[in-house]
Amino acid sequence: MNLFLHLKIIEDKLQFSNNLNIKGASYTDVDNFSSAEVVAVTLQAITRTERLFVYIDISSEVDLGAMLKVLKALFQFDKQLTVCHSGQHQQATRLLANLKSHGLTKEEVLPKAAHFFS
């Protein structure tokens, strides 16, 4: 399985995103308000995937909440992984650097993901 994982660090839990259609990959999203069940399913999907593209969309300087579990799981992922982000978050800065995350604009994410999965 190939997975496009959209992580969102947001202030408003009613901020939704559209599902993305990336050829050759499944899509899921998690935010800092996601329930334990959603996080558990996401962690399970990460363990089953062969290629993982992660986009971290940072729009607020809030507590990472359940996102920390997902971010920590990325450190244990030993297959093909690309991590990119937009925005800044003080608590996540070191984690992003250790994951070798690339800063991108939101407009650059889909073409980069499409290339990753091609």
CATH architecture of structural domain 2-117: 3-Layer(aba) Sandwich (3.40)
Q: Parse the chain into domains and list their residue ranges.
A: 2-117
The pair of three-digit structure tokens given for residue 29, joined into one six-digit string: 């999203």
Q: Give residue-wise pLDDT tens across range 2-28.
A: 999 999 888 765 554 556 678 889 999
The span from the CA of 69 to the CA of 117, in Å, is 25
Percentage above 70 pLDDT, the chain = 92
Residue that the structure tokens 């990119």 belong to: 84
Instruction: Provide the whole-model pTM.
Output: 0.89
The span from the CA of 21 to the CA of 64, in Å, is 26
pLDDT at 19: 60
pLDDT at 63: 82
Taking alpha carbons only, the member of 116, 31, 105 closest to residue 81 is 116
